[in-house]
Amino acid sequence: MGTYLNPGNSGFAEMLKTDYVDKTGLISLINSTIETKKKLTCISRPRRFGKSYAAQMLCAYYDKTCDSHELFKKYKIAEDPSYENHLNKYDVIYLDMTNLLGKVKAEGLVAYIENKIVEEIHKTYPEISNEGSLDEILISTTEYTNNKFIAIIDEWDAPIRETPEIETEYLKFLRMLFKSSGTTSRIFAAAYMTGILPIKKDGSQSAISDFKEYTMIKPRDFGDYVGFTEDEVKRLCEEHGIDFNMMKQWYDGYEFKNVGSVYNPNSVIQAVDNDDFDSYWTETSAAEGLMEYISKDYNGMTRTIAELIGGVDVKVNTNGFANDLVTFKGRDDVLTLMIHLGYLAYDSENKTVRIPNEEIRLEFQKSIREVNHRETLRRLSESDRLFLDTIQGNEAAVAAKIEKIHREETSPLHYNREDSLRSVIKLAYYTYRDHYLQWEELPAGEGYADVVYLPKGDSDWPVLVVELKWNHSAKGAIDQILKKKYPDCLKGYGREIVLVGISYDKDAGSGEKKHSCRIVKV
């Protein structure tokens, strides 16, 4: 057992001692690529989404120096027809790039990797000469053993993210292993790389074009293995007596075709272990720049961030992103990066992004208040003031603020639409996360309340029920709330309930577009 050659199965064995969610189906997907044109796989997903767990699982399965039958016998892969064909049948080269960066200076990284792999090959197979280039020694080894390698590279993009000065040398190293189809086929039965970012583009081309990529934007067949699925989370909640609805509110929000809802696995497990819902989104070098990204001075960026924080889905063009942390041509590149970092969820059908869940909203809320951006700070101040005016029953001030946001933020083509007014409401009250959870179309009484702000457990603020009308009176909105008994299902909160009726009369005349507000406390 080595460090870089055949690391064994102890990492996976340790994982199985916790609340392990069966993701061994991933192995069958990799098995299907072995010795084919699709043998090079690159998976990109955010930090804390189980990349290292998957890499250790694959090491345990393929490493021929150990017997992993006992570890896998009760999981899905054991029922797969390919199971015995590849179990513990290969020499595995395993590189944890984040760990390696902590051991050696950046400029010596590639040489260190090559020397360590050659050293361990020679120790395992003394008959193999340690003279020559790495690819030559790897070819000699496969010819000697009549057995190709499986390459597993965890956090492959860490050198590009953290030490961009060695990017050229590092990509040249990867090209040497994986770009030449003849050499690669002689050395590797398959390769599996994980990272936060998709493969770095070199001009208009991918730097390692032979890899099949599966990203947060296009996970394809690997969507089931990005995070925990809803069924998996439900089972965990049932086993541990955890409130599933709260788990969904905090950690759901990502969604993929043919998969449905996907949850942050690290956060779910932390919530189960701690019996507490909180933000477990710990800073790393790849994501610590959220504050920098959201304060980029690109056209429309300030408004976009306000819309996202307000709960509005925002259009994005993900094409053209350079797949690094420094090359931004505009707003769309910043939003695309935040998809890959997990800060935004991507809707592939509508080509829109949104803040996925309460955990990430807290990160945005924390960062946005630290941004030295005058326009953003003004919006924060105005939203804070709007909450106070609403709670204090200052109807004229609330109507004036909603009217201002409606005028400034809505396209003339969409101005006279109720869904536009709802977006305006979310923009206006977009600092709600300090005290509230926001619900749209909340089942209440005999209907569905448009927007409800439910106070968090540590907040002493009242419940807010907002009903929207256009071409009707604000009083009519309040009457609807009372008639359909919306407050009845909210009395269990033991809080004052503030009913807010907001209306907009598009036929007020002279282009006035007047808004009105009625506030009633229950």
C-alpha distances out from residue 326 to 160, 162, 283, 371, 479, Å: 10, 11, 18, 19, 53
Domain membership flag for residue 246? yes
pLDDT at position 206: 55
**Distance of alpha carbon 489 from the chain centroid:** 33
- Amino acid in the structure at residue 278: D
pLDDT at position 140: 96
pLDDT at position 307: 78
**Distance of alpha carbon 181 from the chain centroid:** 33
pLDDT at position 284: 43
Domain membership flag for residue 219? no
| 28 token code pair | 């069958």
Domain membership flag for residue 298? yes
Domain membership flag for residue 501? yes
Domain that holds residue 358: 281-372
Which 3-state string (H, E, C) describes 339-361? HHCCCCEEECCCCEEECCCHHHH
Looking at the fold, whether 451 and 495 belong to one and the same domain comes out as yes
One digit per residue, the tens of pLDDT, for the chain of length 522 reads 789 999 999 999 999 998 899 999 999 999 999 999 999 999 999 988 989 999 999 999 999 999 999 999 999 999 999 999 999 999 999 999 999 999 999 999 999 999 999 999 999 999 998 889 999 999 999 999 999 999 999 999 999 888 889 988 998 999 999 976 678 999 999 999 999 988 876 654 455 778 999 999 999 999 999 999 999 999 999 999 999 989 998 999 899 989 999 999 999 999 999 999 988 875 444 345 666 777 776 777 877 887 787 778 899 999 888 887 778 888 999 999 999 989 999 999 999 999 998 888 877 777 766 655 566 667 778 888 999 999 999 999 999 988 888 777 655 434 445 566 677 888 788 777 778 888 887 776 677 777 888 888 778 899 999 888 777 788 888 888 888 888 887 877 778 999 999 887 765 544 556 789 999 998
Burial of 388 (0-12, 13-18, 19+ CB in 10 A): exposed
Boundary residue ending a domain (170, 193, 214)? 214
Q: Which DSSP string do the residues of 66-128 spell out, in sequence order? A: S--HHHHTTSGGGGSTTHHHHTT-BEEEEEEHHHHHTTS-GGGHHHHHHHHHHHHHHHH-TTS
CA distance 420 to 410: 7
- Domain tally, the chain: 4
CA distance 87 to 114: 27
Domain membership flag for residue 4? no
pLDDT at position 414: 44
Q: Which DSSP string do the residues of 223-241 spell out, in sequence order? A: GGGSSEEHHHHHHHHHHHT
Domain membership flag for residue 272? yes
Domain membership flag for residue 183? yes
269-275-276 Cα angle (round to 5)? 95
pLDDT at position 517: 92
Looking at the fold, whether 287 and 362 belong to one and the same domain comes out as yes
Name residue 448's beta-bridge partners. Answer: 443
Q: Supply the DSSP symbol for 315.
A: E
Global model pTM greater than 0.95: no
pLDDT at position 420: 65
For 290-293, which contacts have Cβ atoms below 8 Å and span 24 or more sequence positions?
Answer: 290/338, 290/341, 290/343, 290/363, 290/364, 290/367, 291/367, 291/368, 291/370, 291/371, 293/334, 293/337, 293/338
Looking at the fold, whether 53 and 195 belong to one and the same domain comes out as yes
Phi, psi of 17, rounded to the nearest 5 degrees: -85, -5
CA dihedral 152, 170, 223, 293 (to 10 degrees): 140
CA distance 399 to 504: 9
Place of tokens 């080595």: 2
Do 173 and 188 form a contact (C-beta atoms < 8 A)?
Answer: no
Boundary residue ending a domain (347, 372, 397)? 372
Looking at the fold, whether 288 and 323 belong to one and the same domain comes out as yes
Looking at the fold, whether 355 and 384 belong to one and the same domain comes out as no
CA distance 311 to 432: 10
CATH number, domain with residue 307: 1.10.10
Boundary residue ending a domain (160, 180, 214)? 214
Which 3-state string (H, E, C) describes 119-160? HHHHHHCCCCCCCCCHHHHHHHHHHHHCCCEEEEEECCCHHH
CA distance 73 to 302: 53
Looking at the fold, whether 209 and 238 belong to one and the same domain comes out as no
Looking at the fold, whether 378 and 485 belong to one and the same domain comes out as yes
pLDDT at position 410: 58
Domain membership flag for residue 505? yes
pLDDT at position 493: 76
CATH number, domain with residue 202: 3.40.50
pLDDT at position 513: 61
Looking at the fold, whether 206 and 299 belong to one and the same domain comes out as no
Minimal CA–CA distance to 269: which of 233, 244, 322, 225?
233
Strands 352-354 and 314-315: antiparallel
Tally DSSP H helices, then E strands, for the chain.
22, 18
pLDDT at position 468: 80
Q: Which DSSP string do the residues of 17-69 spell out, in sequence order? A: TS-----THHHHHHHTTTTSTT-EEEEE--TTSSHHHHHHHHHHHHBTTS--H
Looking at the fold, whether 348 and 453 belong to one and the same domain comes out as no
pLDDT at position 137: 96
pLDDT at position 356: 92
Neighbours of 385 (CB within 10 A): 14
pLDDT at position 413: 36
Looking at the fold, whether 61 and 43 belong to one and the same domain comes out as yes
Cβ-Cβ contacts under 8 Å for 18 (sequence gap 6 or more): 269
pLDDT at position 514: 78
Neighbours of 210 (CB within 10 A): 17
Looking at the fold, whether 50 and 189 belong to one and the same domain comes out as yes
